[in-house]
Structure 1
Amino acid sequence: MLVELLIAWLVSASSLLLVTKLPVGVEVDSTPKAFISAAVLGIVAAVVNPILKAVFFIPNVVTFGLLSGVFTFIIGAISLAVAASLVSGFRLRAGIWSALIGALALSVVSNLIYGFVSL
């Protein structure tokens, strides 16, 4: 259990560092800040995601689940924005747009890294 948590933390921090190299507006001052940001992002996701899933439950039911991927994407962007607001040295240059594009980029990069890790 602890090993999986450490691997997830390492993948998240690495993904965050890689995303900062892309022109998406996500900035992290240093590698230690990336590790702190990844930890805060994990905690924020654990706390905020269930709340936001409850908020988006009715719209998800009304759309018969057709927009569940969109809602999940929005929840990820909100979590990224909250984490960036909590950690000094972790910024979203263009506000919500950086959160949206950064969440997408972070998801893609993390999945690619997990693909290599699981080999």
Structure 2
Amino acid sequence: MRLWQRIVADMLLFLAISGLLPHLLYIRSIWIALIASVVLAVLNALIKPILSILSFPITLLTLGLFTIIINGIMLELTAAVVGAGFYFSSFGAAVLVAILLSIANTIISNHFQRV
């Protein structure tokens, strides 16, 4: 999937999760969701590789499950950068949203690969 397709998909997923589970994720507007998806893409490109390398031993010990925690950290960093219009109720909520985003992005990516 291309970068802009992933940004739009993440924006729509943020809005959907915020609508379905408002106690986990708050988004003030569609523009904040767009800014959050752009910030998440930038953070994933710049910071996530460093975090992945530094956490490789614990990721190996947990058989890859620690990557879910890294994704939750990336979402919390996104909320910190975006500001008051985008936040999670707790770190556990960020991890749950990270799991939902990962599952949905996998399904969407597989669909676009077939087409």
TM-score norm. by structure 2 comes to 0.84
Count of residue correspondences = 112
Counterpart-to-counterpart distance in 2, 1:13 and 1:55: 28
Give structure 2 stretches of 5+ with no counterpart. none
SS at match of 1:21: helix
Quick one: which amino acid aligns to residue 49 of structure 1?
K
Q: Secondary structure at the match of 2:46?
A: helix
Q: Which amino acid aligns with 1:16?
A: F
- Between stretches 3-12 and 71-80, larger displacement belongs to 3-12
The percentage of counterpart residues that share the same residue type is 26
- How do 1:24-35 residues align onto structure 2 when only pairs under 5 Å count? 25-35=24-34
| Residue number in structure 2 paired with 1:39 | 38
Residue number in structure 2 paired with 1:50: 49
- Whole-angstrom distance in 2 between the partners of 1:59 and 1:110: 24
The equivalences for 1:6-17 within 5 A come to 6-17=4-15
The residue identity in structure 1 corresponding to 2:36 is S
Moved >6 Å (runs of 4+): none
Asked whether the equivalents of residues 18 and 25 of structure 2 are also in contact (C-alpha less than 8 Å), the reply is: yes
Structure 1: 5+ residue runs without aligned partners?
A: none
Q: Is the 1:41–1:80 Cα contact (8 Å) retained in structure 2?
A: yes
Alpha-carbon offset, residue 75 of structure 1: 0.9
Cα deviation for residue 96 of structure 1 reads 0.6
Post-superposition offset of 1:80: 0.4
1:81 aligned residue? 76
Counterpart residue number, 1:105: 100
Question: Which amino acid in the other structure matches residue 101 of structure 1?
Answer: L
Aligned to 1:19: 17
Q: 1:91 to 1:116 in 2, by over 3 A?
A: same
